[in-house]
């Protein structure tokens, strides 16, 4: 099988970035082959040039970048020498692509079916009626429920997974020889992700397609890759069959990446039963109502249904569940960023839900939050020093004291004090998240709520931040509510884990117990969906 001639052969590809970019070449001397019936996974940290390779292969590079050398051989031609018409002919018909963001990759104003039919229209195939019929059968093929209805729906009326299925249907419409999938599941929750991965795998096998699959998630790679290519700073650092790369990584970078993948085995933890309660959440209810109109009924979402839990001093409680299950809503309710319909949140002895205005403001320092996106959570126009010191200053601390403390905090999270005078965009993602942590600590809180605090980070950076959190928590005796959709992360950091589904907590148990003996069906489903469960990161 390995001897089959490559469908696509990228040779020595070099793509130049415009002046002023962070490095001169997005991709520098990359060579790789895609063979029929094989999935090549391209992995690497964010910005390593994965998407650039994919786009070059589809001839969809942005105007500002250009290929300076190399070739892409496909069916005996060099794609880089193709003219517009040539490209148009190949795209869709012979080369197809699935994009990362299923929402934005579909035209919001066109019905799904029409967008599928366009595939045929673009190449002048079939009559309009046949196209519609074909769209319907495609929808069925990718397992979209109720296909008759869905082809008439607009993208926003579909769930993320459904949209991604529609994208896949489109990509497969003309049975292309090569499929390029650029992080097709990153935006999806684990259960949906697992379904989509299975779908791609099956379709690819059935049609003997060559697939280039881009991801940063080693779990995913472990699940589907035949061949793995590791990119770093635009260069291939390692390449080989999946098993080889996983089990005998050659390059240090690959090793580091693999080491950083958290394991599903929860480490042993000291019991905390004798500690006092830091947070008590009693019977929280929250329902969002969006008025419908257009002959539609109002949309009601129960984001929290009788949510009860408490966190002991020094404990980390994990809150997991698929996307949309209500995790963030609970976090915001606990933080009093939104108002609960019912229920009480108690911090120590204080009933937070009964406070408002100034009284609330003065109590806020006791519970702080670390936000998901390290960039989005820092005001791009304020210096780090201010970002950290603003809270204490608002609470009445003398500015000089507050800045001194900010300096100490930066040291504590491992940044040098020069950072005080810089702006957020001058830091890396991991550094930014550290700033976020420093800000949360500045108010000397008793409790920290971390809502997907590490999801936006690369595995390697993620590992660093998690270590830091553990360390700080132990040193400062904090309690933590740790929200994540990543069960691997949860396994590593939580004392107990609560599983949420449709606004309700369905299971709450010490971590080891939960992983060892999930009781609720949903928990089991969730655990099963974690990609790469079969393989073990060797360093774990």
Partner 1 sequence: MLSFVAQRVLKGVIVLLAIVVLNFFLIRLAPGDPAVVMAGEAGASDPVFVKQLREKFGLDKPLPEQLLIYVKGVASFDLGFSFRQQAPVAKLIGERLPATLLLTLTAFAISLMLGILFGTFAARFAGTFLDTAITIFALIFYAMPIFWVALMGILLFSVTMDWLPSFGYETVGANLTGLAHAVDVAKHLIMPAMTLGLFFMATYTRMTRASMLEVKRLDFVKTARAKGLSDAVIQRRHVLRNALLPVVTLAGVHSGTLIGGAVITETVFAWPGIGRLMYDALLQRDYNLLLGVFVICSAMVLIFNLITDLVYRLVDPRIEFAS
Partner 2 sequence: MKQFWKSMLRSPSGVIGLIILVLAISIAVFGPMLFPNSPWRMVQRPFLPPFTLSTVPLGTDALGRDVFAGMIFGARVSLLVGLVSTLVALVVGVPIGAMAGYFGGKTDDALMRFTEFFQTIPSFALAIVLVAILQPSIYSIVASIAVVSWPPVARLVRGEVLSLRTREYVQAAIVTGQSNTWIILREILPNALSPVIVLASLMVATAILLESSLAFLGLGDPNLISWGYMVGAGRTVIRQAWWITVFPGVAILISVLGLNLIGEGLNDALNPRLSREGR
Ligand X SMILES: Nc1ncnc2c1ncn2[C@@H]1O[C@H](COP(=O)(O)OP(=O)(O)OP(=O)(O)O)[C@@H](O)[C@H]1O
17 near ligand X, rule: CB under 6 A: yes
Among 4, 12, 21, 516, the residue binding ligand X under the rule CB under 6 A is 21
294 near partner 1, rule: CB under 8 A: yes
104 near partner 1, rule: CB under 8 A: yes
64 near ligand X, rule: CB under 6 A: yes
- Give the C-alpha separation, 44 to 459, whole Å: 10
| Interface stretch with partner 2, choices 105-113, 301-309, 382-390, 401-409 (CB under 8 A) | 382-390
127 near partner 1, rule: CB under 8 A: no
- Residue 271 has which token pair? 């019991």
Closest CA to 530 of 243, 223, 112, 92: 223
Nearer to partner 2, 220 or 413 (CB): 413
Collect all residues with Cβ–Cβ distance below 8 Å to 410 and sequence separation of at least 6: 384, 388, 416, 417, 419, 420, 435, 438
What is the H or E stretch that residue 370 is in?
strand 367-370
394 near partner 2, rule: CB under 8 A: yes
Tell me the closest approach of the beta carbon of residue 351 to ligand X, in angstroms: 23
416 near ligand X, rule: CB under 6 A: no
Closest CA to 44 of 336, 351, 260, 193: 260
- Residue 53 has which token pair? 């390779």
- Give the C-alpha separation, 47 to 120, whole Å: 34
Strand 25-34 to strand 178-182: parallel, antiparallel, or no bridges (unpaired)? unpaired
Nearer to partner 2, 263 or 428 (CB): 428
Asked if 228 and 240 touch (Cβ cutoff 8 Å), the reply is: yes
For the segment 328-357, give every residue that binds ligand X (CB under 6 A).
328-329
Nearer to ligand X, 314 or 321 (CB): 321
Asked if 497 and 320 touch (Cβ cutoff 8 Å), the reply is: yes
Among 1, 109, 268, 276, the residue binding partner 1 under the rule CB under 8 A is 109
92 near partner 1, rule: CB under 8 A: yes
Among 324, 343, 414, 510, the residue binding ligand X under the rule CB under 6 A is 324
Asked if 244 and 226 touch (Cβ cutoff 8 Å), the reply is: no
What does 265 bind: partner 2, ligand X, partner 1, none (CB cut-off 5 to 8 Å by kind)? none
Closest CA to 241 of 233, 251, 230: 230
Among 216, 232, 405, 496, the residue binding ligand X under the rule CB under 6 A is 216
What does 387 bind: partner 1, ligand X, Mg ion, none (CB cut-off 5 to 8 Å by kind)? none
Angle between helices 112-122 and 160-172 (to 10 degrees): 20
What does 328 bind: ligand X, partner 1, partner 2, none (CB cut-off 5 to 8 Å by kind)? ligand X
Among 18, 145, 418, 477, the residue binding partner 2 under the rule CB under 8 A is 18
- Give the C-alpha separation, 165 to 224, whole Å: 17
Could you give the dihedral angle defined by the CA atoms of residues 214, 218, 221 and 226, in that order, rounded to the nearest 10 degrees? Answer: 110
Nearer to ligand X, 220 or 312 (CB): 220
Work out the number of other CB atoms within 10 angstroms of the CB of residue 197. Answer: 22
Asked if 15 and 68 touch (Cβ cutoff 8 Å), the reply is: yes
| Interface stretch with ligand X, choices 5-13, 107-115, 327-335, 352-360 (CB under 6 A) | 327-335
Question: In a 10 Å sphere around its CB, with 0-12 CB exposed, 13-18 middle and 19+ buried, how is residue 498 labelled?
Answer: buried
184 near partner 1, rule: CB under 8 A: no
Nearer to partner 1, 68 or 107 (CB): 107
Strand 77-78 to strand 66-74: parallel, antiparallel, or no bridges (unpaired)? antiparallel
Site pattern 67..86 for partner 1 (x: CB under 8 A) = -----------------x--
Site pattern 279..308 for ligand X (x: CB under 6 A) = ---------x-x----------x-x-----
What does 106 bind: partner 1, partner 2, Mg ion, none (CB cut-off 5 to 8 Å by kind)? partner 1
Alpha helix (H) ranges present in 110-152?
Answer: 112-122, 128-141, 147-151
Nearer to partner 2, 161 or 391 (CB): 391
What does 90 bind: ligand X, partner 1, partner 2, none (CB cut-off 5 to 8 Å by kind)? partner 1
- Residue 482 has which token pair? 């740790």
108 near partner 1, rule: CB under 8 A: yes
Nearer to partner 2, 156 or 381 (CB): 381
Residues in the chain: 540
Residue 79 phi/psi, 5-degree rounding, is -60, -30
Among 16, 80, 122, 508, the residue binding partner 1 under the rule CB under 8 A is 122
Instruction: Encode burial over 113-128: b for 16+ CB neighbours within 10 A, e otherwise.
Output: bbbbbbbbeeeeeeee
Closest CA to 105 of 21, 200, 169, 178: 169
- Residues in contact with partner 1, total (CB under 8 A)? 38
For the segment 401-430, give every residue that binds partner 1 (CB under 8 A).
none
Interface positions with partner 1 (CB under 8 A): 58, 60, 84, 87-93, 96-97, 99, 101, 104-110, 118-119, 121-123, 154, 156-157, 167, 170, 290-296
Interface positions with partner 2 (CB under 8 A): 17-18, 20-22, 62, 64-65, 335, 337, 361-362, 364-365, 367-369, 371-373, 376-382, 387, 390-391, 394-395, 436, 439, 442-443
């Amino acid at each position: 099988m390995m001897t089959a001639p490559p469908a696509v052969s990228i040779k020595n590809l070099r793509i130049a970035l415009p002046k002023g970019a962070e490095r001169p070449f997005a991709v520098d001397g990359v060579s790789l082959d895609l063979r029929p019936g094989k999935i090549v996974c391209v992995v690497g940290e964010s910005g390593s040039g994965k998407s650039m390779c994919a786009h070059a292969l589809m001839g969809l590079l942005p105007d500002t970048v250009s290929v300076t050398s190399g070739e892409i051989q496909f069916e005996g031609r060099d794609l880089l020498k193709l003219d517009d018409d040539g490209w148009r002919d190949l795209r869709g018909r012979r080369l197809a692509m699935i994009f990362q963001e299923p929402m934005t990759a579909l035209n919001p104003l066109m019905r799904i079916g029409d967008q599928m039919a366009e595939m045929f229209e673009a190449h002048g195939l079939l009559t309009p009626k046949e196209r519609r019929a074909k769209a319907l059968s495609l929808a069925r093929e990718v397992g979209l429920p109720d296909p008759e209805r869905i082809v008439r729906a607009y993208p926003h009326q579909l769930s993320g997974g459904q949209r991604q299925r529609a994208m896949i249907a489109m990509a497969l419409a003309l049975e292309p020889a090569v499929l390029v999938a650029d992080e097709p599941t990153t935006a999806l929750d684990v259960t949906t992700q697992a379904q989509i991965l299975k779908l791609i795998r099956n379709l690819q096998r059935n049609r003997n397609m060559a697939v280039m699959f881009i991801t940063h998630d080693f779990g995913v790679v472990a699940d589907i890759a035949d061949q793995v290519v590791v990119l770093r700073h635009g260069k291939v650092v390692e390449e080989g069959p999946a098993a080889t790369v996983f089990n005998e990584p050659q390059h240090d970078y690959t090793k580091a990446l693999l080491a950083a993948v958290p394991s599903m085995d929860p480490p042993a933890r000291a019991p905390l039963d004798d500690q006092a309660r830091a947070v008590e959440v009693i019977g929280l209810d929250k329902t969002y109502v969006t008025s419908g109109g257009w002959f539609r009924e109002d949309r009601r979402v129960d984001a929290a249904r009788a949510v009860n839990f408490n966190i002991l001093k020094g404990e980390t409680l994990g809150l997991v569940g698929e996307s949309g299950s209500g995790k963030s809503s609970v976090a915001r309710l606990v933080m009093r960023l939104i108002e609960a319909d019912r229920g009480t949140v108690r911090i120590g002895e204080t009933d937070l839900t009964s406070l408002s205005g100034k009284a609330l403001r003065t109590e806020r320092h006791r519970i702080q939050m670390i936000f998901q996106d390290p960039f989005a959570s820092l005001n791009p126009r304020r210096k780090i020093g201010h970002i950290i010191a603003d809270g204490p200053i608002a609470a009445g601390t003398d500015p000089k004291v507050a800045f001194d403390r900010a300096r100490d905090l930066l040291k504590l999270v491992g940044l040098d004090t020069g950072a005080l005078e810089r702006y957020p965009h001058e830091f890396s993602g991991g550094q930014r998240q550290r700033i976020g942590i420093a800000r949360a600590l500045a108010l000397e809180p008793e409790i920290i709520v971390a809502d997907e605090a590490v999801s936006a980070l690369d595995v390697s950076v993620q590992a660093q931040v998690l270590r830091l959190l553990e360390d700080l928590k132990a040193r400062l005796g904090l309690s933590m509510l740790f929200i994540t959709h990543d069960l691997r992360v949860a396994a590593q950091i939580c004392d107990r884990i609560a599983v949420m589904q449709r606004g309700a907590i369905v299971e709450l148990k010490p971590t080891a117990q939960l992983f060892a003996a999930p009781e609720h069906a949903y928990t089991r489903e969730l655990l099963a969906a974690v990609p790469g469960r079969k393989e073990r990161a060797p360093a774990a």
